Amino acid sequence: MSRLWLVLPLLFLCAAAPAPATGPGPDIGTVTKLPVPRFVSLRSDLVNFRAGPGFQYPVSWVYQRQGLPVEIIGEFDVWRQVLAPDGGTGWVHEATVRARRTFYVTASQAVLHSAPTPGSGALAYLNQGVSGKLLFCAASSDFCKVEAGSKTGYLARTDLWGVFPGETVK
């Protein structure tokens, strides 16, 4: 019986969590007045995802990947509810994320192209899970300019996570 009271609040939090977004939202964050949802990245190699917006809530996940893109899907005081590329959600302190845009390869292998066209030369092949800086995306383009390690080139939007369909990133 003592475990039940621990599980019920977690079930409530999971049920109350918003569904993942499909595009930059028309909603404005109640705290930051910035669009929700929006993409940011993890500031350090150790970020606790909590079950709720506060230090009193248990840590659900620990992400150990600086620069990992996450999607802000909610705000409360100094806490941001985020969605990670693997589908994990949780609440993180605002100090653990930054506005820098990054990407995460979702395809089993993605081609880093020399130009924003499917037939352009391949600069590199990036495996699933590779991440890097998101430099530019035109709303009308199927490709985004990225930097992965020492290489700069173009990835198909369909091969990455960290930008909404039709979103412009400058």
Out of 100, 116, 141, pick the residue that ends a domain. 100
Residues 30 and 14 in one domain: yes
Residue 167 confidence (pLDDT): 94
Angle at CA of residue 71, ends 141 and 155, nearest 5°: 30
User: Is residue 46 included in any domain, yes or no?
Assistant: yes
Residues 64 and 137 in one domain: no
CATH number of the domain within which 39 lies: 2.30.30.40
Residues 107 and 94 in one domain: no
> CA-to-CA distance for 16 and 27, rounded, in angstroms?
17
Residue 104 confidence (pLDDT): 97
Phi, psi of 44, deg, nearest 5: -140, 175
Residues 53 and 117 in one domain: no
User: Is residue 168 included in any domain, yes or no?
Assistant: no
Output the six-digit token pair for 37.
């949802």
Which residues make Cβ contacts (< 8 Å) with residue 99, sequence separation at least 6?
Answer: 40
Contact 135, 112 (CB under 8 A): no
Residue 77 confidence (pLDDT): 97
Residues 67 and 110 in one domain: no
pTM of the model: 0.83
**Each residue's pLDDT tens digit, 20-69:** 444 566 699 999 999 999 999 999 999 999 999 999 999 999 999 999 99
Encode the chain (170 residues) as per-residue pLDDT tens digits: 333 333 333 333 333 444 444 456 669 999 999 999 999 999 999 999 999 999 999 999 999 999 999 999 999 999 999 999 999 999 999 999 999 999 999 999 999 999 999 999 999 999 999 999 999 999 999 999 999 999 999 999 999 999 999 999 99
Residues 64 and 27 in one domain: yes
Residues 93 and 114 in one domain: no
Owning domain of residue 117: 103-161
Out of 49, 73, 100, pick the residue that ends a domain. 100
Residue 130 confidence (pLDDT): 96
User: Is residue 127 included in any domain, yes or no?
Assistant: yes
